[in-house]
Each structure stands twice: as C-alpha cells, then as structure tokens.
Amino acid sequence: MRTEVLKFSEESAQKAAEILKNGGIVAIPTETVYGLAANALDENAVRSIFAAKGRPQDNPLIVHISEIEMMKPLVSDVPELAKKLAERFWPGPLTMIFNKTSAVPDVTSGGLSTAAVRMPKNEAARAIIEKCGFPLAAPSANTSGKPSPTAAEHVFEDMNGKIPLIIDGGECAVGVESTVICFKDGKIHILRPGGITKEMLEEFGEVEVDKAVEAAPAPDEKVISPGMKYKHYSPKAEVFIVDAHGDKFADYCRKNGGGKTLFLSCGEREGFLDYGETSEIQARRLFSLLRLSDEKGAERVFVEMPSKEGVGLAVYNRLLRAAGFKIINVEQYE
Ligand code: AMP
Ligand code: MG
C-alpha cells in the first residue's frame, strides 16, 4: 500500500473522512501526539489499528469526540465532577474513563467494561471527527513500544506501507499523550499524567496519582490502566535517567559516556542535546529526540533527571518507561 502524506486542509480532511467512513484507518494530528484513527464503533476498523501498531489486544483505545453530544450514547454514570472537568478542559489533553454502553465494542475497550473518552483541541482532529460524525479510536500512531510520533515524518517512519493516508498538521503542541483519569470514591485518580496537570485538576477536588505512574508494576500485578504495564516509548538505544542536575550531570556523562552515548540535558550545553529548560519544552521535544537517537545510531542515551512538577510528571513518566525504569544514582559513582 502506498502511504500518502497530505497537509491538513478542507480537502485532505474530507479525504480522511471518506477513508474512515469506509472502515479504513488514517493517521491524524492531535495536540498531544499523532493518532492512528478509525471508527471507534466499528470492530473491524478498530482491529486494523491493533494490527498496524502491533498493539497488545488488552490495551484499550481512547475514543475521540468533537462535541459532548457524541459521548452520550457511549458511556453511563458520568459524575458531576466529570461534567465540570469537561467544561473546563475540553477540548484539550484530558481523557476521562466511564462505564461504557454496548455501543462501544469490546475490542475498543480492550475487553474492559469502561471506555476512555477525550475531546481533542487540534483543528485537524476536530474537523475530521466532525466530518465523520462518529467517534474515532486513535491511539498514538507509532509501532507499539516505540516513541510516540509528534510529527508527520515520525508517523511515516513507522506506518509507511501500512496505512493509506497521513494528515500532516505540523508539530504537536503538547508532545506527550493526554492525561488519563478515572473517578474513585469522589476523587480524581490520575492513571497517566499528561498536559492537564495534577495541579490544574486540584482546583476541582482531591487528586491522587496512581502508583504505576512512578513505579514499575510487579510482574503479575493488576493495573487499572493496561497501557502502564508495557515497555513503551523506547528507541533502540538503551535509555538511562541520570539522577543529577547541571554540572554534576555533565561530569557524570563525560566520565561514563564513552562510545556511542548521547546526552540529553535540560538546557543548552556544549556536546549535549538540549531537551529544554522547561517541562513544557521537554514534553514537546522528548519523543523526537528519542527517535533522533536511533537515527544517530546511539547505543545509550543518558538523560538529565527532569522536574516532576506540572507537565514534568508526564515527561518523567514517559522517560521512566523509555528507560525501562533504570535510574542512575550518581552519588554511588563518586
Ligand atoms: P494511547 O492510545 O497510546 O494514548 O494509550 C491509551 C492509554 O489509555 C493506555 O495507557 C490505556 O491503557 C489507557 N486506557 C484506555 N482506555 C482505558 C480504560 N477503559 N481504562 C483504563 N485505561 C484505559
Ligand atoms: Mg501509545
């Protein structure tokens, strides 16, 4: 199959919608990362997403809507708190989990009785969902396990020959996937941190962060969000988080780097790749730098410990998984 890449326009959005209406899959930009979209209510279409990504069947997909009305037939028991959050953060990078109705096929929910719903803000994503008139399941448009795509070129690397069309909407504004939350005992429970931060959600009530966000689940542990248990976001190179900052990080890298090691620093530094001084910039750059490490044939990547505040928690969460939870404690080497 030839994969066409078209810049987002009225016509390309129309073309994408035609493919989607015929049960096909198309990669679309969103403000978080690029998504591999199909009709969320069409079992066969959803199956082709799992096939193209090589995604484990038990890892559920997020259902993307363009207006609140679209959600009504899909889920039940929506708490008042969720309605308030939708008013404040939709459209935007927040995904909420509710009990699903039979309208959402089990393949979409990975066999769970719940469904994850999000209303994206990106203009192209919204236009395409509107033209379809049905919700789109759209996991990140990468091969399962690889870093998520934040530009159309990344999608092309992974999906060339597997899908008919990529809509190019430029670089993703947020750069990491949406914040995923569920509601437990009246509290907001963060399953995956993202662009809508814990601090932002705290204005609306008590917020707890699932322990899987910062820790590796035990081999047989049951996790609420199945995506949390898989190795993720990984380039070919072995990634390490170095628990040090500034000059201390740089010294560690120079002494221990050797060979084909790349260094990602929080800010500019001679001989280092700059992944950004703020958490927002780090979120935007992280995945493309992990992809770049493959292009450069790196064997190892040392990453300066990011801040865990705000969007930083999402950056840290993705890095932990990319690194297979390997953190180097610099003090031990001194
Ligand atoms: P991705 O589509 O690649 O952004 O991944 C979607 C994330 O949302 C994964 O971590 C899933 O495990 C999580 N997710 C989707 N639906 C549900 C659900 N019904 N319950 C819990 N987690 C979910
Ligand atoms: Mg993903």
Is the Cβ atom of 148 under 6 angstroms away from ligand 1?
A: no
- Each residue's pLDDT, cut to its tens digit, for the chain (334 residues) gives 899 999 999 999 999 999 999 999 999 999 999 999 999 999 999 999 999 999 988 999 999 999 999 999 999 999 999 999 999 999 999 999 999 999 999 999 999 999 999 999 999 999 999 999 999 999 999 999 899 999 999 999 999 999 999 999 999 999 999 999 999 999 999 999 999 999 999 999 999 999 999 988 777 777 777 766 666 778 899 999 999 999 999 999 999 998 899 999 999 999 999 999 999 999 999 999 999 999 999 999 999 999 999 999 999 999 999 999 999 998 776 5
pLDDT of residue 221: 72
Is the Cβ atom of 112 under 6 angstroms away from ligand 1?
A: yes
Residue 38: strand pairing partners: 137
Give the integer Cα–Cα distance in Å for 39 and 205: 34
pLDDT of residue 334: 57
Is the Cβ atom of 108 under 6 angstroms away from ligand 1?
A: no
Minimal CA–CA distance to 93: which of 197, 173, 179?
A: 179
Is the Cβ atom of 30 under 6 angstroms away from ligand 1?
A: no
Non-local CB neighbours of 218 within 8 Å, separated by 6+ positions: none
| Pairing mode, strands 179-184 and 187-192 | antiparallel
Atom of ligand 1 nearest to the CA of 140: 3
For residue 95, the ligand closest to its alpha carbon is 1
pLDDT of residue 149: 98
Give the Å distances, CA to CA, from 246 to 233, 249, 289, 293, 317.
25, 5, 19, 21, 21
For residue 181, the ligand closest to its alpha carbon is 1
Quick check: helix, strand or coil at residue 80?
A: helix
Is the Cβ atom of 60 under 6 angstroms away from ligand 1?
A: yes
| Pairing mode, strands 114-118 and 94-100 | antiparallel
Minimal CA–CA distance to 155: which of 15, 27, 56, 19?
A: 27
Is the Cβ atom of 177 under 6 angstroms away from ligand 1?
A: yes
Q: Residue with the nearest Cα to atom 12 of ligand 1?
A: 227
304-321 per-residue burial string, b: 16 or more CB within 10 A, e: under 16: bbbbbebbbbbbbbbbbb
Is the Cβ atom of 140 under 6 angstroms away from ligand 1?
A: yes
Residue 301: strand pairing partners: 239, 262
Q: Residue with the nearest Cα to atom 2 of ligand 1?
A: 139
pLDDT of residue 178: 98
Q: Residue 245 C-alpha to ligand 2 middle, in angstroms? A: 29
pLDDT of residue 330: 87
Q: Residue with the nearest Cα to atom 9 of ligand 1?
A: 227
